[in-house]
Amino acid sequence: MWRRTIAHGMLRSSTLVVLASTCTVLARSVLAQHVQAGHVVVEADQAIVYSDNFRTTARVSYPGDPPPLSGWPLIVLVPGLGSSHVSFAPEADAMADEGYLVVTYDVRGQASTKALNPGRGSRLWTLDEWIDLAEIIEWASERWPDTVDKSRIGVVGDSQGGIHAWAAAAYSGKLLPNNPRRTRAFPTISAVVPRIMAPQTIDVLVPDGTSFHELLGSWLADPKEEIIRFDATWRQTVEGYFDRDDPAGLRNWLRADPGRDFVQELATSTVPVLSVMSWLDEFLTPDRAIAALGTLPPTTPRRLLVSTGFHSTPLNTYQFILRQRMAMRWFETYLQRRHVGPDGGPPVITAAIPGDPVQYSLVQSIWRLREDSEYPAKDTEVLRLDLDAALKLRTANEDVFVGRRRITNVVNGSYDWRDFARDRTKLATVATALPVDKLEFVGAPLAVDLELAGDGTVTLPLTPTHADFQVGIRLFAQLPNGSRQLIATGGRAFQNASLATADYRIAFGCSTAVVAAGAQLVLEISNQVFQRPGDTDRFRLQPSFSAFAFDIDFPVFRKTCLELPIRAMPRVDLGTGIFDMEIDKPLPAEMFLQTSNARGGLPYLILLSLSEPSYSPIPGGRGFWFTRDAFTDFAFQFVTSPIFAGFVGVTDAFGVARPVLHLEQVPKLPNELRGLDMRVLPVLIPGPVVEAGATVSIRFQ
């Protein structure tokens, strides 16, 4: 029975007794499975020779305690492009301390391999590297036969390492395409965590087959090979496609390379995949990773986390902690099998881009979390805004100004892709040769908070003057002080297009962002495709080196428009800067509940649980991931006590509340809590159907 009628005079003794008894029972079953690791043993500078006599260097770390009878699970941590395995040593050792043997190594054509293999290099993310990964796994299993459990293998990595993790999931237990190095099947993989990269690498490098990714040319043109040394023949071939401005030819050539494009293999993969992506990523949007997850068989476990960090996006303390903990939990579930059954948490966790550039860049800002069964989520509606010749974003009941506007691409001099590769980070230098031409369409101040959630589009009736041209689009939130935060970006190049007027529907990459009331939406359309992962602009595509122009029509019958998937009201969510709670010296956990400025004065409730999450449907509403347990009922009894200050109440005029958990008021927390996660769920009660937000986890240390 849920009650809150306990007298405050009985609070302290009752709290201790019930807290201790409730938590002890819940803790014992979890702690009995927890591996108590001692110091970490490191074996550095391991020399490895692949089956094609290519040499690399690896580093191995594992717990100092004796391994279990079956051995430690094996994790291969693959570095990002151009990185040495040494730079991933801290993460490798942290994983080893949790009960794994962890191998990290230098990828072909990078770091130590350049000196070890004179005259040999990389063909960039192809079958050779997947075979290298298989041989690394087998080398570790043979080198430490009594320490490694060959039946429990995971792969994790950032960017380039993420591609390797996707490839491991795709080829797990399968024969590789015909090659001179390997006839055996790829090792069977138990779980992967690809971070900030999608598996469709050809589409990433040659978007739509009509342009080149702006980074590829810089890698090719780097005379010092600081990032990567390419195979000389491969480099020469790719440079030829750049010289001929033939992205379609490059895409076809890459696709003909056996084993490079492995996305179709994911359709039969049973490997659990946790994909971690970043909004506004310099390299790519999350869309392709989302599509890749969708190709997995329905029974294959998967999860998507999209927030920030890496590829030039801001590092955020709390999002980094969330990312690392989710990865470790994924491996705990599918490698160490500490939890019964599959991970029952939400399939999709997203952190909404703050509409304020200060909060976006601040390392300790708290981003608003969302949990969904899929992405884009279903609880959105389309907001349509019409563009007019007066450079305004108009609603349906407003008059529009008809007319025509032109955007022009001018090329000063004989500027080419090699010049751009040299100058690409110097925007002013590039602009001298390739001036930016853009139009900005400004909307009225928002009356209520707005939440973008999904893929927006811009429809433009265009008349190009050249068959090859580019269109860049970006959407900003502009605050009353004039500062702007990018919330969505897109654009593409067109080749061999008709010169007749036609409607072009251009997509943004998917995005979740919350924009406060009073801000204005600003749509930018330009002759180049830009990104802004941090606080400065970066190119997304290599710009066009041909002169062109295109006219945009603004007809009376309203065909020129911006369409955005939005939620009618931003969801309720709970933020806190406390991710860990010391058992011996707990600190007050200040929390920040928020929803929308249109939801002031609504009742809310904060619930707690010590159990693993599971899906809880709400009749007539959106379900949530939370498991009610004895601790939930216990805490609810004392929800009006000083320990749970503000855990029940009404939101203020801005739709905000500030609850605080005061566990420091409990004389002694039971030691059995150590290592457990306490899940905190915000619940809003706007009417007959309650709304629940994303849970926040606080780990007892």
The position carrying tokens 């939620």 is 567
pLDDT band at 344 (very low <50, low <70, confident <90, very high): confident
Task: Residue 453: name the closest of 566, 287, 373 by CA.
Answer: 566
Same fold flag, 40-201+263-346 and 381-567: no
The C-alpha atoms of residue 240 and residue 244 are separated, in whole angstroms, by 6
What's the 3-state SS for 498-519?
CCCCEEEEEEECCEEEEECCCC
- What per-residue confidence (pLDDT) applies to 18? 33
Q: Is the confidence at residue 564, as pLDDT, over 60? A: yes
Report residue 304 as tokens: 């998507």
Tens-place pLDDT, residues 285-326: 999 999 999 999 999 999 999 999 989 999 999 999 999 999
Q: Is the confidence at residue 429, as pLDDT, over 80? A: yes
Report the CATH superfamily, name and number, of domain 8-30+571-700: Immunoglobulins (2.60.40.10)
What average pLDDT score do residues 215-233 get?
96
Indicate whether this model's pTM tops 0.85: yes
How many whole angstroms from its chain centre is CA 334?
21
For residue 67, CA distances in Å to 42, 63, 74, 333 come to 15, 8, 12, 19
- Could you tell me which CATH number the domain at 381-567 has? 2.60.120.260
- What per-residue confidence (pLDDT) applies to 129? 98
Domain boundaries defined on the chain: 8-30+571-700, 40-201+263-346, 381-567
What average pLDDT score do residues 189-214 get?
97
The C-alpha atoms of residue 638 and residue 4 are separated, in whole angstroms, by 6
Mean pLDDT computed over every residue of the chain: 92
The C-alpha atoms of residue 139 and residue 142 are separated, in whole angstroms, by 5
Can you state the angle between helices 89-96 and 317-331, rounded to 10 degrees?
Answer: 50
- What per-residue confidence (pLDDT) applies to 689? 87
Q: Is the confidence at residue 139, as pLDDT, over 80? A: yes
CA neighbours within 13 Å on the CB side: how many for 536? 7
pLDDT band at 27 (very low <50, low <70, confident <90, very high): very low
The C-alpha atoms of residue 165 and residue 156 are separated, in whole angstroms, by 6
Identify the three-state secondary structure at position 692: strand
- What per-residue confidence (pLDDT) applies to 397? 86
What average pLDDT score do residues 88-116 get?
97
Task: Residue 512: name the closest of 280, 322, 268 by CA.
Answer: 280
Among 82-86, 250-254, 343-347, whose mean pLDDT is lowest? Answer: 343-347
pLDDT band at 341 (very low <50, low <70, confident <90, very high): low
Beta pairing class for 302-307 and 348-354: parallel
The C-alpha atoms of residue 478 and residue 484 are separated, in whole angstroms, by 4
- What per-residue confidence (pLDDT) applies to 40? 96
Q: Is the confidence at residue 452, as pLDDT, over 60? A: yes
Q: Is the confidence at residue 23, as pLDDT, over 60? A: no
The C-alpha atoms of residue 603 and residue 686 are separated, in whole angstroms, by 7
Tens-place pLDDT, residues 378-387: 899 999 999 9
What average pLDDT score do residues 92-97 get?
97
The C-alpha atoms of residue 464 and residue 633 are separated, in whole angstroms, by 65
Decide if domain 40-201+263-346 falls under CATH 3.40.50.300: no
- What per-residue confidence (pLDDT) applies to 32? 29
Percentage of residues in the chain with pLDDT exceeding 70?
94
Q: Is the confidence at residue 26, as pLDDT, over 90? A: no
Report residue 538 as tokens: 């970066």
CA angle centred on 428, ends 425 and 429, rounded to 5°: 75
**If you count DSSP H runs as helices and E runs as strands, how many of each does the chain have, helices first?**
15, 38
Residue with the bigger pLDDT between 251 and 32: it is: 251
- What per-residue confidence (pLDDT) applies to 687? 87
What average pLDDT score do residues 580-594 get?
95
The position carrying tokens 């609070």 is 11
Contact predicate 575/496, CB 8 Å: no
- What per-residue confidence (pLDDT) applies to 35? 36
- What per-residue confidence (pLDDT) applies to 340? 64
Tens-place pLDDT, residues 33-56: 333 335 899 999 999 999 999 999
Contact predicate 191/334, CB 8 Å: yes
Report residue 491 as tokens: 């654009």
pLDDT band at 523 (very low <50, low <70, confident <90, very high): very high
What average pLDDT score do residues 457-462 get?
98
- What per-residue confidence (pLDDT) applies to 620? 78
